[in-house]
């Protein structure tokens, strides 16, 4: 009996029970056990109710996986999100999107108006926001030459600024420092400078380690939005304790306390940033003006008819989950029906698109809130699927096959490396290495040494070989195919969804691809 029929019978039986027993909507333990036996990998579920439980099955890589959801919990999620969306309209954390059609950025700005506005900003912040010709020049340059960049930054700020403000407030740091991340990284968590600083807050490797940001082959916590923001808050607090001045603290954040102290000495002991500016490194000399220019433009964006564009999702729409076993983005994509682009944006700290599980370290997955319920309710099924998927991956030799298990394969008409590799469960790179091949070209009659992972397939009888040959005589070269050009942000899974009944493995085999990385512009054959 297949899975869906079993579930249907169980639910019908349950309906009959509840019709007779009006006083309860809970299924008896015996029925509960029947359901558990019928749906593999479901655990930690005490009761099932037709009114409270929803069960769906999804076919993933040939496996029927049952997913559950609790209807009441889903309703709670909707109400919670609705309350956020209603309240966020009046929040100063989010710059509300506008219809920008026909609106032209106002670049005219008189010196008198700028002075008045800067004076107003200065009254609201511990920073020394004072007018000077250099600052005016930078502000006007940004407005004239970078309106689109500024609009895009305002769009990205919708996601990052609420997060920044949360931790800046927690560490009692001026909220205006959120604009520093724009100057540092243009709000790109994977941004890397020419000297090796990385992340939203541009930590060097050594400084990052000092403030608890670890870097490994799997993870670079300098790109973790939350952990790097906490580290930046700690670093800035230490700098402020040294200089007792936020302007100098920011200058030291950029060039180091030593360079700021040198500039103070060379200036004759002055401690105002503008008085020591010409003694600072060139980059730091332009650092504070860029910060103040950004601060001014964001605070007076409406006056200049600047509005967010290409908005990302608001930060309140995502949540994090502690991961208990190693998961790849590809596995998560298949289960949650997401894609690499979304997971990479929300989880930029994972260098190889793999979330590891390491002793004494906690790693999390950030996903949209509407998917959190599905993950949490079905965590064991997801891990079980990942375990089964990992079991299919290549295992080291000679643990599984001794050297005498090798075969000599004779290349036939229509053969190509991907086809042969798939037949024996190995990779193209392995066949090339075993046979000293420098390219993918094969000739009919050529002999190849192969150490198969599918020994049954490797020991076909001669009659079976003839049968296989006759079945595959109509090679793919005789079939029609569509040429698909890879676009930026594409993944093999996303492409497979665009073509009915096409799998990722088929695309790999057809195009002799053994990596999930795709370059924009690559042409793929889809049969």
- Domains, the chain: 111-304 (1.10.530.10), 403-477 (3.10.350.10), 480-526 (3.10.350.10)
Q: Which of 132, 153, 131, 155 is nearest to 142 (CA)?
A: 153
Q: Which of 111, 112, 230 is nearest to 167 (CA)?
A: 230
* Residue for token pair 């397939």: 457
> What is the reported pLDDT for 63?
65
Spatial separation of the C-alpha atoms in residues 353 and 219, rounded to whole Å? 9
255 contacts: CB under 8 Å, gap ≥ 6:
280, 281, 283, 284, 287
DSSP H/E element including 523? strand 523-526
Instruction: Please tell me whether the overall predicted TM-score, pTM, comes out greater than 0.85 for this model.
Output: no
> What is the reported pLDDT for 145?
92
Spatial separation of the C-alpha atoms in residues 55 and 48, rounded to whole Å? 10
Say whether 200 sits in a helix, a strand or coil. coil
Spatial separation of the C-alpha atoms in residues 149 and 108, rounded to whole Å? 18
> What is the reported pLDDT for 316?
79
Backbone angles phi and psi of 472, in degrees to 5: -100, 10
Residue by residue, DSSP assigns 360-393 as T---EEEEEHHHHHHHHHTHHHHHHHHHHHHHTS
* b/e burial code for range 414-437 (CB count within 10 A of at least 16 → b): ebbbbbbbbbbebebebbbeeeeb
> What is the reported pLDDT for 86?
52
Spatial separation of the C-alpha atoms in residues 378 and 69, rounded to whole Å? 8
SS3 per-residue string spanning 72-123: HHHHHHHHHHHHHHHHHHHCCCCCCCCCCCCCCCCCCCCHHHHHHHHHHHHC
pLDDT per residue, tens digit, the chain (527 aa), is: 454 444 444 444 344 334 333 333 332 332 233 333 333 333 333 333 445 556 666 667 666 676 666 655 566 666 655 554 555 444 444 444 455 545 688 888 999 999 999 999 999 999 989 998 989 999 999 999 999 999 999 999 989 999 999 999 999 999 999 999 999 999 999 999 989 999 999 999 999 999 999 999 899 999 999 999 999 999 999 999 999 999 999 999 999 999 999 999 999 999 999 899 999 998 888 899 999 999 999 999 999 999 998 777 777 788 999 999 999 998 998 888 888 888 999 999 999 889 999 888 889 999 988 888 889 888 888 898 888 888 877 555 444 444 456 788 999 888 888 888 888 888 787 888 888 887 778 888 899 988 887 543 334 433 344 444 433 333 444 567 888 888 877 878 778 778 867 777 788 778 877 666 788 888 888 88
């Amino acid at each position: 009996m297949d899975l869906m029929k079993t579930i249907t019978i169980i639910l019908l039986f349950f309906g009959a029970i509840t019709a007779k027993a009006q006083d309860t909507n809970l299924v008896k333990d015996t029925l509960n056990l029947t359901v558990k036996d019928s749906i593999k990998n479901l655990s930690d579920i005490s009761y099932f109710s037709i009114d409270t439980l929803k069960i769906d099955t999804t076919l993933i890589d040939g496996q029927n996986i049952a997913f559950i959801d609790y209807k009441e919990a889903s309703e709670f999620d909707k109400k919670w999100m609705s309350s956020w969306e209603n309240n966020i309209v009046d929040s100063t954390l989010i710059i509300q999107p506008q219809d920008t059609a026909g609106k032209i950025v106002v670049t005219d700005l008189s010196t008198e108006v700028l002075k008045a506005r800067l004076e107003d900003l200065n009254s609201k912040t511990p920073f020394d926001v004072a007018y000077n010709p250099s600052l005016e020049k930078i502000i006007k340059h940004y407005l004239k030459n970078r309106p689109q960049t500024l609009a895009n930054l305002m769009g990205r700020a919708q996601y990052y600024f609420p997060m920044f403000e949360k931790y800046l407030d927690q560490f009692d740091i001026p909220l205006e420092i959120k604009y520093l991340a724009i100057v540092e990284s243009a709000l790109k968590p994977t941004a890397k400078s020419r000297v090796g600083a990385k992340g939203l807050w541009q930590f060097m490797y050594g400084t990052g380690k000092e403030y608890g940001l670890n870097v490994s082959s799997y993870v670079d916590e300098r790109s973790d939005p939350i952990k790097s923001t906490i580290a930046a808050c700690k670093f800035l607090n230490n700098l402020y304790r040294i200089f007792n001045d936020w302007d100098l603290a920011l200058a030291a954040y950029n060039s180091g306390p030593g360079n700021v102290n040198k500039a103070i000495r060379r200036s004759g002991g002055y401690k105002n940033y503008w008085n020591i500016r010409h003694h600072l490194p060139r980059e730091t000399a332009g650092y504070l003006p860029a910060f103040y220019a950004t601060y001014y433009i964001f605070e007076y964006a409406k006056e200049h008819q600047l509005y967010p564009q290409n908005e990302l999702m608001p930060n309140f729409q995502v949540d994090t989950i502690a991961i208990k076993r190693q998961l790849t983005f590809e596995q998560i994509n298949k289960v949650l029906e997401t894609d690499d682009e979304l997971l990479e944006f929300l989880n930029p700290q994972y260098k190889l698109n793999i979330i590891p599980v390491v002793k004494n370290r906690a790693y999390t997955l950030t996903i949209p809130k509407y998917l959190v319920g599905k993950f949490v309710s079905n965590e064991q099924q997801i891990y079980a699927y990942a375990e089964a998927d990992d079991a299919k991956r290549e295992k080291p030799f000679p643990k599984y096959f001794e050297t005498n298990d090798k075969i000599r394969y004779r290349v036939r008409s229509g053969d190509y490396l991907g086809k042969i590799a798939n037949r024996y469960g190995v990779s193209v790179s392995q066949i090339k290495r075993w046979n000293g091949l420098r390219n993918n070209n094969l000739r009919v009659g050529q002999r190849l040494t192969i150490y198969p992972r599918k020994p049954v397939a490797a020991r076909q009888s001669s009659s079976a070989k003839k049968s296989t040959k006759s079945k595959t005589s109509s090679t793919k070269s005789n079939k029609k195919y569509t040429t698909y050009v890879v676009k930026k942000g594409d993944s093999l899974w996303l492409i497979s969804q665009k073509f009915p009944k096409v799998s990722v493995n088929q695309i790999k085999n057809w195009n002799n691809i053994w990596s999930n990385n795709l370059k924009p512009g690559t042409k793929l054959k889809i049969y």
